[in-house]
Amino acid sequence: MSRTKYDWTRIDSDVNGNPRYVIHFLNLADNYQDAVKLANKIGGRKYHTKKYGGGIVFQSYSLPNTEMHIDRVKRDAIQPETLAALEKLTTLAANQLDQSATHDGLENCKALANARQAIARAKGGAE
């Protein structure tokens, strides 16, 4: 079995025999209502049992594929204001790195290149 990003709990199959898994809502959002809204976009539903409070249930034959969809809806749920703030922050960080590199000389070139790569990854992960 392949490794998964989230901690899934296997529950009984649905009436048609399809496998079902539960994940805690905090893996999707900071509050239950937002997590349910995000989960509903990709087929997740509230899980109503006493033994698993705050659960979201998914029918899935491929947990890595389900996790990919979860990550997509989480990424798409980022507000435009948050994206604008992230862009401004990463631009400021890049400008500060450029100024630091010119003052300190060539010894910081590798650190500058690594920092630029990290900034590019942060921008790519939020878009």
Report which of 57, 49, 65 is spatially closest to residue 25, judged by C-alpha positions: 57
Residue 67 exposure: Cα atoms within 13 Å on the Cβ side: 13
Nearest CA to 22 among 41, 46, 5, 4? Answer: 46
Report pLDDT for 117. 75
CA proximity to 60, closest of 86, 42, 74: 42
Q: What pLDDT is stored for residue 32 in this prediction?
A: 92
**Chain centre distance of CA 64:** 13
Euclidean distance between CA atoms 88 and 66, whole angstroms: 32
| DSSP letter, residue 15 | T
Tell me which residues of the chain have a pLDDT lower than 50. Answer: 126-127
Q: What is the pLDDT of residue 90?
A: 76
pLDDT at 127: 44
Q: Please state, in angstroms and rounded to a whole number, the distance separating the CA atoms of residues 83 and 96.
A: 20
Where in 1-126 does DSSP place strands (E)?
Answer: 9-11, 20-24, 45-47, 55-59
Is this structure's pTM higher than 0.95?
A: no
What is residue 42's DSSP assignment? T
- Please tell me the predicted confidence (pLDDT) of residue 50: 83
